[in-house]
Amino acid sequence: MEETSSPLEAVLSPSIADVSVLSLDVSREAIRIDVCSTAAGAACPDCGSESTRVHSSYQRFPADVPNGGRLMILRLRVRRFFCPESSCARRPFAEQLPELTRRHSRWTERLLSTLAAVGLALAGRAGARLARAFGMPISRSAVLRLLDALPEPEVPVPRVVDVDEYATRKGRIYGTVLVDVETRRPVDLLPDRMAQHRRGC
Ligand SMILES: [Zn+2]
């Protein structure tokens, strides 16, 4: 199959490096696109060694973000490489195409991040409903699993903290709250042993 290059290719894959579009078919309902990697080799996921020795190839069909109201049907030609490191247990390994594949995922990276953004904004049921309306069918439980798998956001270590008090149950239980002076966000809640003394117990 001949390699093609067109403005449409640039629109479809504006930010994906090291991939080439082999063929493109646009109909009213769908855009079918064949893609392969143009990288010379790939790094072993276990030991990090670069390899250019191809073992075999196969096809992957990850679901992608719809484009202009059309389904994106991707067919990716993925190579397997021999790991050159003799002590490495992983031989062979499959290459990953940046933004298009992730190991063991049936979604492209850009679909995954889009669904995660929808899930973060709307959670399970409403997130799944909106995603389906935009042509990205997903179940409520799959949205929740996606959110569970997201890494915890990094919380910067506060440089300066202040100590304040808090009360719950209409002032009957007291505690101490540590506050980040710069962001004014609470950092930690500590039970206050002195509370009982203040209540005269
Ligand atoms: Zn290896």
Q: What is the pLDDT at residue 188? A: 81
Cα of 78 vs centre of ligand 1, distance in Å, is 18
Q: What is the pLDDT at residue 201? A: 45
Cα of 55 vs centre of ligand 1, distance in Å, is 14
Cα of 103 vs centre of ligand 1, distance in Å, is 15
Cα of 54 vs centre of ligand 1, distance in Å, is 14
Sign of the Cα torsion 121, 126, 129, 130 reads negative
Q: What is the pLDDT at residue 194? A: 52
Cα of 45 vs centre of ligand 1, distance in Å, is 7
Q: What is the pLDDT at residue 195? A: 46
Q: What is the pLDDT at residue 43? A: 93
Q: What is the pLDDT at residue 13? A: 58
Per-residue pLDDT of the chain (201 residues; tens, 9 = 90+): 444 445 555 555 556 677 888 888 889 889 898 988 889 999 999 999 999 999 999 999 999 999 888 888 999 999 999 999 989 987 789 998 877 888 888 898 889 989 999 999 998 899 999 999 998 999 999 999 988 888 877 777 888 888 887 776 666 667 788 888 888 887 887 776 554 454 444
